[in-house]
Chain A
Amino acid sequence: MNAVLLIVIPLLAAFISIVSKKIAPYLLLVVGLFNIVLLFFLENGLVFIGGFDVAMNSDLLGISLLLDTYARMALWLINGLILVIFCLNFKSYKAFSSILLLAMAGLNGLLLTNDLFNFFVFLEISGIAAYLITSANKKPVSTFRYLVIGAIGSSLFLFGVVVLYAMYGTLNMIVMIQAIQASGNYAEVILPFTLMFIGLGVEAKLLPFNAWVKGVLGHSNTLTGPMIAGVYAAAMSFVLGRFITNLFVFEGSLLIVVTVLLALGILAGDVMAFSSTKTREILLFSSIAQASIVALLFVNGVIIWAVYLIIANALSKTVMFLVINKATKDVGSDESEALRGLFVNNKLVGLTFTLVTLSVMGLPLLAGFVIKLNFLTQLAGIGQIVLIAIILVASVIEGIYFVRLIVKLWYPGESEISVKYNYSFKAVFIVIALALLVFGTYSTPLTKLDNTIDTVMEVVNNG
């Protein structure tokens, strides 16, 4: 058994599910569970498939996958979330089973691949699945815009990859890192890295490449909201982290440009969320700010806390989008005024939503606080005082709009609204809120892992 099964099995199941649509939803459940269990038995390491010797440089050309703790955590999160989101939408979005299997295959491939061209292929597979998932919003213009922006992003990424291939004669990420280190001429890789960063920035929702987000998440439902803001955002943050940590060399003026862009992304995201009155827009702009914080942490080498932040954000945003999108569907509006008093008759849902939101804000006793405290401490350790100030200012803005939202949802307005959450929704909300609470009060397990979970540089240095 090796890691390629994590890609091949969902892909095969996706094809089978097209032939027999009746078994498609059950195939997705079985494959999702299979992937999660398989991850317990797979050993860390590189896997080579196919390929041929070129001038005795074995394995330079061919499919190469890398499974390490970093990829394993990401895969557990992604496969688990897809499974949970699908279970919650089992009745309403059964027809999307094949697409979710395709998304699973593409995202697993993105997280595992050590080969830049295969990365592009998986980027397109997961991208096509994402466009199809967003078609559930029934807003074809927004979906079309997403497709166009996504296609430009992946084309720029491929442009960067091809330029790198022309320069170093390999597509294997580890061999390429070794070649770049050996050449030492970082100035010549600025162009391909910039093109690749823009390409990934589109999917990772980084400013200014995130023009598609408002159209897609602003009209999301209980499937598309958690899938795009939870699953896809987490997967893209993980792969962006892998690239920023290991491949991209941000130095000098390029580092300043990237840092300023990301800092602007944090502030702009939170300011836009602050000025919005629509609940879904508040959540999506908050996601943009959080994605920029994650990228900024990777740029500064704070890997492990960035990983925890991705996981906490993915879980939190899944709960928040599920709560809001279900309410929006039942009430018929996502205006915060229209949803006033949502939690009056849904106290348990209200409690879990409040806990999750407070965790995103970074309040004590919740996982978000532990994560924020630790990454701010690490940033202080490397002297990034300006970045700390920016994140704190953004946190204050975030605190204001989230508290304003929570207060509105708890206190009733003139008319009473009725939204019913079924038990499966409530169970998921409780589990996630409890997890955030447990890791917020007992953070010892979080400190057991460190930045060495990403082993690419170790493989580069030791072979």
Chain B
Amino acid sequence: MIQYASIILFVIGIYGLFVSKNVIKMIVSLNIMEIGLNIFIISIGFVGGGAIAPIISSTQDLGLIFVDPLPQALVLTAIVIGVGTTALALAFAKTIYKTYNTFELDEMEESA
């Protein structure tokens, strides 16, 4: 179920990127898309049947069901990369605003 929700979020993000002409709204859409993807990655590692977090403890772990730790590691990296991309996009948005005095792509023209 959660996988469907994450795919819907991902599609909403892509839809926002295609239809929005506002730079900030596009960055928000980009983040919605990335959140959808991150939730999808986490959902891949879920193991049903009372699975616990994959943390090594002093007690005997044999026989316990762990969730898959790899997607959690992946999603941490994906989040960090997403933050970097967002920061860069915001820096470009600031430059765009400085140059054209607007965030609306329709209102600015880039001549050659």
Q: Does A45 contact B (CB under 8 A)?
A: no
B112 touches A141 (CB 8 A): no
Known: A117-B77, A124-B85, A143-B92. A148 touches B112 (CB 8 A): no
Q: Contact at A158–B37, with CB atoms within 8 Å?
A: yes
CB distance from B9 to the nearest CB of A (A): 12
User: A117-B77, A128-B88, A147-B92 are known contacts. Are A159 and B30 too (CB-CB below 8 A)?
Assistant: no
Contact indicator B77/A162 (Cβ below 8 Å)? no
Contact A166 B92 (CB under 8 A): no
Interface of B is mostly: helix
Q: A60 — nearest CB in chain B belongs to which residue? A: B70
Give Cα A218–Cα B74 distance, bound, in whole angstroms: 36
Nearest CB in chain B: distance from A156 CB, A? 9
B side interface size, CB within 8 A: 32
Interface hit among A132-140, A356-364, A371-379, A391-399: A132-140
A:123-165 near B, CB below 8 Å: 124, 128, 131-132, 135, 139-144, 147-148, 151-152, 155, 158-159, 162, 165
**Interface size range on A against B:** 20 to 34
Q: How far is the CB of A339 from chain B (nearest CB, A)?
A: 14
CB neighbours of A334 from chain B (8 A)? 112
* Chain A nearest Cβ from B47, distance in angstroms: 12
Chain A residue with Cβ nearest B34 = A155
- A219 with B112, Cβ < 8 A, contacts A121-B81, A131-B88, A147-B85 known: yes
Looking at the assembled complex, report how far the CB atom of A200 sits from the nearest CB atom of chain B, in whole angstroms: 17
Q: Which residue of the partner chain A has the closest CB to B17?
A: A148
B105 in complex: contacting residue of A141, A152, A165, CB < 8 Å: A141
Closest to B105 in A: A141
Interface pair B85/A151, CB less than 8 Å apart: yes
- Give 14 pairs: A residue, B residue, CB < 8 Å, sorted on A: A124-B84, A128-B85, A128-B88, A140-B95, A141-B105, A143-B92, A144-B26, A147-B89, A151-B34, A151-B85, A152-B17, A155-B34, A165-B44, A165-B70
Contact A144 B17 (CB under 8 A): no
CA distance A176 to B84 in the complex (A): 29
Answer whether residue A61 sits at the interface, using C-beta atoms and an 8 A cutoff.
Answer: yes
Proximity bits, A236-276, B CB within 8 Å = 1, else 0: 00000000000000000000000000000000000000000
* Complex interface residues of chain A between 182 and 241 (CB less than 8 A to chain B): 215, 218-219
Q: Which residue of A lies closest to B92 (CB)?
A: A144
B99 in the interface, Cβ–Cβ < 8 Å?
yes
B95 touches A159 (CB 8 A): no
Contact of A117 among B74, B84, B85, B93 (CB under 8 A): B74
Nearest chain A CB to B10's CB is how many angstroms away?
Answer: 7
A152 touches B112 (CB 8 A): no
Residue B78 CB within 8 A of the other chain: yes
Q: Which of B94-111 contact A (CB under 8 A)?
A: 95-96, 99-100, 105, 108, 110
Cα distance, A166 to B47, chains bound together (Å): 12
